[in-house]
Amino acid sequence: MEMSQYLEMFIEESKEHLQACNQNLLELEKNPSDLRIVNEIFRSAHTLKGMSATMGYEDLADLTHKMENVLDGIRNEKIKVNTEILDVVFTAVDHLEAMVMDIASGGTGKRDVSATVSHLNAIDQGESITTASHEVAATTVAEPAGKSVLTYDEFELTVISQSQEQGFQTYEVSVSLREDCLLKAARVFMVFELLEKMGDVIKSSPSVEQLENEQFDQQFYVSIVTHEPADDVQKKLMKVSEVVEVQVNLVTVEQLNARNTISNQVEGSISEGTNESKDSAQETKNTPAKQGVQAGNKTIRVNIERLDILMNLFEELVIDRGRLQSISSELNHTELDETVERMTRISGDLQTIILTMRMVPVETVFNRFPKMVRQLARDLNKKINLEILGAETELDRTVIDEIGDPLVHLIRNALDHGVERPEIRVANGKPEEGTVVLRAYHSGNHVFIELEDDGAGINRDKVLAKAISKGIVTTENSLTMSDKQVFELIMASGFSTADTISDVSGRGVGLDVVKSTIESLGGTITIDSNEGKGSLFSIQLPLTLSIISVMLVEIEDEMFAIPLSSIIETAIIRSSDILNAHNQKVIDFRGKVVPLVFLDEVFDVPREQVSDEEFLSIVIVRKGDKMAALVVDTFVGQQEIVLKSLGNYLNNVFALSGATILGNGKVALIVDCNSLIK
Amino acid sequence: MTEKTTMDDIKVIVFQLVDKEYVIPVSQVQSIEKMMHITRVPKTPSFVKGVINLRGVVTPIIDLRERFELQANPLDDRSRMIMIKVEDMEVGLIVDAANDVLDIPSSAIEPQPDVVGSIESEFIAGVAKLDRRLLVLLQLDKVLNPLQQVM
């Protein structure tokens, strides 16, 4: 069977299941006794196993199977959850992730996992030995608790004892169905049909009625009287598809009588127990129901490339729309005007829809952090509590793809350099456990992602001393720098303040990369810090990368686009207002000295004649606190444009961040104001 | 390019620059376009003529004459832009004319003679003799490569 068409889906779903595993494992670590979580993990692992076996990735299936064994042990309370076990399971999940990534990049998904496998096996076996003895010790009490699901009234007991006298055997059969079994009632029917061929069903739990209405979990109990040996019963039942487990236990009247007396004695506690199990059954039934509601909010998976193509096609449509508008205004035909206007409105709606389709909750990036923080905190011997807020905040897919690595770096940085060791924290009167808050929220046309820690904060003097020793700033300059400016030095290249370099962070190559990545996304990063109290890294990102508002300006006959986000205002000044300061032309703009940047010179625009106009059009732009006035020929107007790259051949052209296609089909270049301001 | 020559025939596009005929494998060619408006991109080498809107994709355009430092010729209505894709770079090449599509038997391709001094020699993968035509096989990745150094 040709599998490649399913490969993509397999990879996507595997990633999702692994992510679910990770999340639930972290949950489990917090509430080790919550078996519902184990069930969730088990379900994910089980599906993953099935999928990978179907796709022929045996190694993947095998490791998942081993992991499943351990999870099963936990689920059946044979294995007690502790950190060591979770660590092993975590590494197993790590391996699985690596395998899936390998498959995604065209590999075979093979990987040396023998260490983890042996660990898993050790847990599985080592613990089951101890549980075996535990079982023996508890048999007398545990047996009724375990099997008392089936209780018999006097009539039934009489039937059993009579059949026993006639040479029939009585078995208690427990049947487990697959978790993803869809037609449970049908399977129940098949099981009953088989049982009734072999003998008589005396009792079932839940009742037959409930079973037919699928009012049970995965397991149900039946007792039958039959001539057949236990083995045969079991084998026959296993033939029913989607039945995963069948246990057949021989019972005798004596046992049952004994059990009844015990159950009478411990009636209270048992009925409590059954209530509880009923409750939990209710609960587990509720959860899928809830998920069902969510799934009712139907989604489909679409390849991002297709969305890009859709976007491109739509952009073409927008360009033609522009043309149509100008034609219709020339022709002055009422009906044509109306139609074009309608089309304009509809395509506007379409644009909004396409853009929102590209929006992805930032959760997809955030949800790998808890595990990373857990691991790092252990490596660093620190106690850290990561809080994630606003994970549902949506961002353009392109930004999502890029923002992961910078955030990883910032978090590592916060954990390594920010949060102090527990003993130091205690000595400084702080709680032993450090708190790192990762927060995302919308504000205006921007999304903010903030990382706040309550660690040591940034030591201004230490940073300055380091920066001076590295030659990043001069001693004189350092005296006049504001705190913010000093903090931003840690993002200069070639900078690292940790006294010792650790492998977690701190080779001084990271934060400058973080800064440039964020700037390349059209965002900014600022640092605020309070020594001894903690630091706040704040990243501001544009809501979407693909459509931005710009001001179109003309120089000679070339059109340039300046992003509105960096424009403060436009103005027309007299050329006599220009002042000279150190070979730099400046103007006095609202009391501030602003340097002039002649765009025609920067972009070498060919000029027919040197213009000496009395008035100059300027666009005042800013980068952080700094400003510059860009001199242009004429303002054309404000427009929403689609941002396009210049192609891979022309990456990194000076002072240009990309291009766009105008209504007339021509390309206009987008000015990167950040690189024009020094 | 070497693995291409081991195959029996290669299908190529033939184009003209000044008085010579050059070929590039069809597999690397996306389309051939007539000249259209080119937006100049400042601060790039002079052979980068700018970018065009190729059906919604902004595509850089290189003038091959200037790239090979041949004498510049005004564009006329035979001038074409050959859109090529090498690795993940999509670029258009301005040529004097796009002439033909040919199958060249790999046996006809010879390594280029060692002529020193001509700028284009470093971009040549081989020379093919076909009937009485001399076709120069271009090594496109070299043509596109050294942009960073020139800047």
CATH of the domain at A530: 3.30.565.10
CB contact under 8 A, A647 and B59: yes
What is the rounded CA–CA span in Å between residue B126 and residue B107? 11
Residues A529 and A640 in one domain: no
CB contact under 8 A, B91 and A647: yes
* For residue A504, pLDDT beyond 60: no
Mean pLDDT of A177-196: 77
Mean pLDDT of A268-296: 42
More confident residue, A253 or A367: A367
Question: Is A389 domain-assigned?
Answer: yes
In angstroms, the Cα distances linking B48 to A83, A669, B124, B145 are: 61, 15, 20, 13
In angstroms, the Cα distances linking B68 to B28, B63, B85, B102 are: 20, 9, 19, 23
Are A407 and A365 a contacting pair, CB within 8 Å?
A: yes
pLDDT confidence of residue B82: 93
User: For residue A261, what pLDDT band results from cuts at 50, 70 and 90?
Assistant: low
Nearest CB partner across the interface for B40, out of A312, A316, A558: A558
Residues A414 and A562 in one domain: no
More confident residue, A648 or B149: A648
Phi, psi of A254 (to 5 degrees): -60, -45
What is the rounded CA–CA span in Å between residue A449 and residue A361? 12
Q: Please, which residues 281-320 of chain A have a Cβ atom closer than 8 Å to chain B?
A: 312-313, 315-316, 319
Tell me how long chain A is. 678
pLDDT confidence of residue A222: 82
Question: Is A71 domain-assigned?
Answer: yes
- Contacts of A182-191 with C-beta under 8 Å, sequence gap 24+, read A184/A214, A184/A216, A185/A211, A185/A212, A185/A213, A185/A214, A187/A240, A187/A241, A187/A242, A187/A243, A188/A212, A188/A220, A190/A240, A191/A222, A191/A237, A191/A240, A191/A243
In angstroms, the Cα distances linking A503 to A94, A416, A437, A455, B39 are: 19, 10, 23, 19, 48
Contacts of A658 in chain B (CB under 8 A): 58
Residues A136 and A221 in one domain: no
* For residue A279, pLDDT beyond 60: no
Dihedral sign for Cα atoms in the order A140, A142, A145, A150: negative
∠ CA A164-A267-A132, nearest 5°, is 70
Residues A122 and A167 in one domain: no
Beta-carbon contacts below 8 Å between A and B: 80
Runs of H (alpha helix) within B57-139: 64-67
Nearest CB partner across the interface for B42, out of A604, A661, A666: A604
Are A633 and A589 a contacting pair, CB within 8 Å?
A: no
Q: Which of B144, B111, B133, B131 is nearest to B21 (CA)?
A: B133
In angstroms, the Cα distances linking A418 to A136, A412, A439, A552 are: 52, 9, 17, 44
CB contact under 8 A, B51 and A647: yes
pLDDT confidence of residue A274: 43
What is the rounded CA–CA span in Å between residue A540 and residue A565? 12
Residues A111 and A177 in one domain: no
Would you give the distance in Å from CA A90 to the centre of its chain?
A: 17
Residues A575 and A595 in one domain: yes
Residues A388 and A470 in one domain: yes
Nearest CB partner across the interface for B58, out of A558, A645, A654: A645
Q: Nearest-CA residue of chain B relative to A317?
A: B56
- Taking the Cβ of residue A104 and every Cβ of chain B, the question of whether any pair is shorter than 8 Å is answered with no
Min Cα separation B130/chain A (Å)? 33
What is the rounded CA–CA span in Å between residue A581 and residue B77? 51
E strand spans, A424-546: 434-443, 446-453, 524-530, 534-542
Are A39 and A1 a contacting pair, CB within 8 Å?
A: no
Residues A604 and A649 in one domain: yes
Q: Which of A236, A160, A238 is nearest to A200 (CA)?
A: A160
DSSP readout, B18-38? TTEEEEEEGGGEEEEEE----
Return the residue in B36, B52, B54, B58 with the most chain A beta carbons within 10 A, the one to mutate for interface testing.
B58
Average pLDDT, chain A: 77
Range A136-168 burial, b when 16+ CB lie within 10 A, else e: eeeeeeebbbebbbbbbeeeeeebbeebbeeeb
Domain boundary among A358, A378, A398: A358
User: For residue A428, what pLDDT band results from cuts at 50, 70 and 90?
Assistant: confident
Q: How far apart are the first and last CA of chain A?
A: 61
More confident residue, B118 or A643: A643
Min Cα separation B150/chain A (Å)? 12
Architecture per CATH, B2-144? Beta Barrel (2.40)
With both helix axes pointing from N to C terminus, report the angle between A114-147 and A83-104 in degrees, rounded to the nearest 10. 120
Are B47 and B66 a contacting pair, CB within 8 Å?
A: yes
CB contact under 8 A, A646 and B48: no
Could you give the strand order of the β-sheet that contains A667-671, starting from the edge strand earlier in sequence?
A: A634-642, A547-555, A558-563, A667-671, A656-661
pLDDT confidence of residue B1: 46
More confident residue, A623 or A286: A623
Contacts of B37 in chain A (CB under 8 A): 665-666
Min Cα separation B39/chain A (Å)? 6
Contacts of A604 in chain B (CB under 8 A): 42-43
CB contact under 8 A, B91 and A655: no
* For residue B44, pLDDT beyond 80: yes
Domain boundary among A340, A358, A376: A358
pLDDT confidence of residue A157: 75
∠ CA B137-B138-B139, nearest 5°, is 125
Residues A331 and A435 in one domain: no
Min Cα separation A610/chain B (Å)? 19
Return the residue in B30, B41, B54 with the most chain A beta carbons within 10 A, the one to mutate for interface testing.
B41
pLDDT confidence of residue A131: 38
Residues A558 and A512 in one domain: no
Are A259 and A156 a contacting pair, CB within 8 Å?
A: no
- Taking the Cβ of residue A667 and every Cβ of chain B, the question of whether any pair is shorter than 8 Å is answered with yes
Question: Is A270 domain-assigned?
Answer: no
- Taking the Cβ of residue A323 and every Cβ of chain B, the question of whether any pair is shorter than 8 Å is answered with no
Six token digits for residue A140: 């007398």
Question: Is A295 domain-assigned?
Answer: no
What is the rounded CA–CA span in Å between residue A452 and residue A435? 8
Question: Is A175 domain-assigned?
Answer: yes
Q: For B72-89, what is each residue's pLDDT tens digit?
A: 777 788 889 999 988 878
More confident residue, A266 or B140: B140
Residues A469 and A587 in one domain: no
Contacts of B40 in chain A (CB under 8 A): 558
Residues of B with CB under 8 A from a CB of A: 37, 39-44, 48, 50-53, 55-60, 87-91, 144, 147
For position A619, which CATH number holds?
Answer: 2.40.50.180
Contacts of A313 in chain B (CB under 8 A): 56
In angstroms, the Cα distances linking B136 to A113, A169, B62, B103, B111 are: 53, 92, 19, 14, 10
Six token digits for residue B71: 């004498």
Return the residue in A598, A645, A649, A664 with the most chain B beta carbons within 10 A, the one to mutate for interface testing.
A649
At residue A453, the 3 state secondary structure works out as strand
On the question of a cis peptide bond just before residue A206, with omega within 30 degrees of 0, the verdict is yes
Q: Does ipTM surpass 0.90 in this model? A: no
What are the residue numbers of the active site of A? 46, 68, 413
Question: Is A293 domain-assigned?
Answer: no
CB contact under 8 A, A646 and B41: yes
User: Domain limits at A478?
Assistant: 361-542
With both helix axes pointing from N to C terminus, report the angle between A114-147 and A267-296 in degrees, rounded to the nearest 10. 130
Nearest CB partner across the interface for B60, out of A315, A602, A650: A650
Question: Is A299 domain-assigned?
Answer: no
pLDDT confidence of residue B51: 93
Question: Is A21 domain-assigned?
Answer: yes
Largest separation between any pair of C-alpha atoms in chain A: 120
Per the DSSP assignment, residues forming a β-bridge with B24 are B13
Q: Which secondary structure element, helix H or strand E, spans residue A646, and what is its range?
A: none
Q: Which secondary structure element, helix H or strand E, spans residue A550, and what is its range?
A: strand A547-555
Residues A433 and A318 in one domain: no
Six token digits for residue B147: 């942009």
Residues 6+ apart with CB under 8 A from A348: none
CB contact under 8 A, A604 and B43: yes
- Taking the Cβ of residue A602 and every Cβ of chain B, the question of whether any pair is shorter than 8 Å is answered with yes
Number of domains in chain A: 5
pLDDT confidence of residue B123: 78
pLDDT confidence of residue A493: 67
In angstroms, the Cα distances linking A644 to A260, A308, A484, B30 are: 78, 12, 33, 20
User: For residue A97, what pLDDT band results from cuts at 50, 70 and 90?
Assistant: confident
Domains of chain B: which residue ranges? 2-144
In angstroms, the Cα distances linking A353 to A380, A441, A546, A653, B88 are: 46, 21, 14, 32, 30
CB contact under 8 A, B53 and A669: no
